[in-house]
Amino acid sequence: MLENDYIKYDALGLAELVANGDVSAEELLSCAEQRCQNKNPALNAVVTPMWEQALTAIKNGLPAGPFRGVPMPLKDLGQHYQGVVTSNGSRLFADNVSDHDSTLVQRYKASGLVLSGKTNTPEFGLATTTEPVLHGPTRNPWSLEHSTGGSSGGAAAAVAAGMFPVAHASDGGGSIRIPASCCGLFGLKPTRGRVPLGPTAVEGWGGLSTTHVVSRSVRDSAALLDISAGPEAGSPYHAPHTAESFSSAALRPPKPLRIALCLKTFNGAQVTEEIRALTEQSAHTLESLGHHIEPIQHSFTPEIVRDAHGTLAISHIGAMLNGKQDALGRPLTERDIEHVTWTNFQSAQNVTGAQYAAAVSSIQRHGQMCASLFECYDLILTPTMACLPPAIGALNTMSEDAESYLNLLYQMIGFTALFNDTGNPAASLPLSISTGGLPVGCQLIADFGAEALLLSISQQISDAGFFTKFLS
């Protein structure tokens, strides 16, 4: 198979070629490697190639799963592949060789996927851009001077540049949806507890974080959710069971839906006029498909939204770093980690048990408020981000200018982070291009456990030809 043919297919399309004997897994791996050699030097998306491990897996015989022979990278955060470094984007973990496979990695392998590398991520997934000191910045395939977003920025760049048809990603405040928006991809954040995070963790950031993929096609996302969803031994909770497969749900066009349009961020950040206008165009697109759009004003308190999410996130980062310094037998210093991480680490030491409990209560209340919206509406439509993809360097994790950093950060997560609090499934859809030629996503949010509806309407929109053309 030629490289130009390889990039024409999504993951399921490539798997079908393998199943039919039209191409071998070795040929697909060779195409992925060649594409990476051509594109990655400029983009810095893949930071740990795993070509040898991938070839060994193929030679040992791949399971006859739905993705047999398809190459895919893992995000270098949280997910472990035995014998390969999981750096978490940090110099502090640069030599952290995993001694086991994560549950999700086991499920990926069982589906026939050929795990072929690790993608770049900001340190501990804390930034909404992918510019870690450890590996350097990942650049956007649409414009090398712009960010891919974060924290799954390496994954999004790898898919947008055609290195891989799909890539593993994770989301603790928008980290699947924001890179998907910045790079013109489909990015679904599943319901809390839908995909396991073990065996070394039972939940991420106190339930804020979950994991899935960024993809070029809706059907790939649906099929990958089919093979990854479901509790593991010891799961303290899990998402509601769905009798129908997500793949089947994606194929069934939805009935006319009631969709609430919200153009006001949940954390108080300002929305640019261009983003507002492009999201209103997306609303018209949905109306053209027979859905009813109703503008709404939400009643979430920005300060409480910001504080609750931040308290949970930094507390869990603090706990992880406290454990690391205990393992090292010495206190951490600012030389060990990036400035923004250090600031969060110091703040975490001052969080009291009462403050943490109050934050948990706040996000639970947010979930109740969100649930009440779905008594009136089937979906919520928002921008994915309140601003366009920022320039490389605009979010500098080594900067001491906290105000500028936070203002841009809040713009980027102003529509996404709330649904990490509530646990609702949410997806970024590639529906617009800015006047400057950058992709702009819109976000659809469904009721708790209702990924099937999100996949159904996303496939409907894609089938109607409204998705941004894949960048080749």
- Exactly one of 75, 118, 189, 264 is catalytic; which is it? 75
Question: Of all helices (H) and strands (E), which one includes residue 249?
Answer: helix 246-251
Among this protein's residues, is 255 annotated catalytic? Answer: no
- β partners of residue 258: 292
Nearest CA to 196 out of 144, 154, 156, 236 is that of 236
CA angle 160, 260, 412 (to 5 degrees): 40
Nearest CA to 88 out of 121, 53, 115, 116 is that of 121
- β partners of residue 428: 187, 443
CA-CA distance, 2 to 354, in Å (whole number)? 59
Among this protein's residues, is 299 annotated catalytic? Answer: no
Residues of the chain with pLDDT under 70: 471-472
Among this protein's residues, is 90 annotated catalytic? Answer: no
Whether residue 170 has a cis bond before it, omega within 30° of 0: no
- Exactly one of 175, 432, 458, 462 is catalytic; which is it? 175
Query: CB-hemisphere CA count at 13 Å for 157?
Result: 34
Confidence (pLDDT) at 400: 93
User: Per CATH, which fold does 3-301+360-463 belong to?
Assistant: Amidase signature (AS) enzymes (3.90.1300)
Confidence (pLDDT) at 227: 98
Q: Is the distance from CB of 288 to CB of 448 less than 8 angstroms?
A: no
Find where tokens 């770049």 sit. 120
Confidence (pLDDT) at 470: 77
Confidence (pLDDT) at 232: 94
Confidence (pLDDT) at 472: 64
- Exactly one of 90, 151, 170, 458 is catalytic; which is it? 151
Confidence (pLDDT) at 241: 92
SS3 state of residue 383: strand
